[in-house]
Amino acid sequence: MRARWPAIPYGAWRETCSALHLWTQIVGKYRLAHAPWVNHSWHATFHVTPRGLTTGSIPDGDRTVAIDFDFCDHRLVVQSDCRSAEFPLESMSTADFLRRTKEAIVEVGGTPTLNGVPNEIPEPIPFATDVRKRPYDAEAVERFHDALRRIARVFDRFRTSYVGKVSPVHLFWGAFDLAVTRFSGRRAPLHPGGIPHLPDEVTREAYSHEVSSAGFWPGGSGAEEPMFYSYAYPEPEGFADWKVEPAEARYDENLREFLLPYEAVRTSSDPEGTLLLFLRSTYEAAATLGKWPRDELECELGRPLVPRKVSPPTL
């Protein structure tokens, strides 16, 4: 019998979640400052690992650096060319986390340059002056990581049924959400921008092409519970009225996206199947109403050791 998905009520670990969000921004901004730009900001994200979150390889001068949030032993681990430094994840201020992170990067031979102000957060406080001590609930972080690990597996599986352009499954530290995005292949109208504390040029590059994007965030920013989401840009006519599944999913007029509470997935008889149903049905709404060339883009779910069948081109 499979273990049940963990309960992660946002209110119970709100302050720890807020701290973790800010700490991932610090590490993410270090990666952003050093990595060459990749389309849609894919060069700046985190990836879920069996132990937590990783930046992957970051070029820093002649060195290659990687930074991991280890949510099993609760440590931040900085590695570079056979050198490593680490410190415990524990109750501390954001300013303390910034200082310790910079010291660890220097210890492995890196250059800890980064922008010092949070993004996509109301009334941001510069990291170096945010001296309020924040809690660190290790048990809550472990449950969150367990949830991320399970969600990423479903997102990865959903990703396999598309041969068009599709993003990796990755965590954006700006909004602190795990996401996967499909692209129609067509250019999109210029995005109006206006996301708080995010340059419009970044938003417009991210939404340069038509997308159907789905993801998960643990709470905050108007959602006081962990939630799955799915939206289309540009949003096709009739999108809000499309009947999506499961029954607990709904369209939010303010956010302009479909929402599905994490709790509805967690408590269902088949969490993986329920989440996959939401991903498929909301994508279908975007692709059908947006008149995407679905026959050219979609395929069966991937299976281990089974290559895609490729038909010869028609003349």
Cα separations (Å) of 196 from 31, 122, 202?
21, 7, 12
By C-alpha distance, which of 232, 214, 233, 95 is closest to 157? 214
Domain map (residue ranges) of the chain:
10-137, 139-297
Side-chain half-sphere exposure of 288, counting CA atoms within 13 A = 12
For CA atoms 110, 114, 116, 121, give the dihedral sign: negative
| DSSP assigned state of 269 | S
pTM score of the predicted model: 0.96
Distance, C-alpha 288 to centroid of its chain = 25
Structure tokens at 41: 């900001």
Q: Which residues contact 144 (CB under 8 A, 6 or more apart)?
A: 6, 8, 13, 17, 20, 71, 218
Centre a 10 Å sphere on the Cβ of residue 236 and count the other Cβ atoms it contains.
18
| DSSP assigned state of 5 | P
Q: pLDDT tens string for the chain (315 positions)?
A: 467 999 999 999 999 999 999 999 999 999 999 999 999 999 999 999 999 999 999 999 999 999 999 999 999 999 999 999 999 999 999 999 999 999 999 999 999 999 999 999 989 999 999 999 999 999 999 999 999 999 999 999 999 999 999 999 999 999 999 999 999 999 999 999 998 889 999 999 999 999 999 999 999 866 789 999 999 999 999 999 999 999 999 999 999 999 999 999 999 999 999 999 999 999 999 999 999 999 999 999 999 999 988 878 776
By C-alpha distance, which of 183, 271, 270, 178 is closest to 228? 178
Residues 49, 37: Cα–Cα separation, whole Å: 23
Residues 127, 240: Cα–Cα separation, whole Å: 39
Q: Is residue 190 packed enough to be buried (19+ CB in 10 Å), middle (13-18) or exposed (0-12)?
A: exposed
Residues 295, 178: Cα–Cα separation, whole Å: 27
H or E element that contains 84: strand 83-88
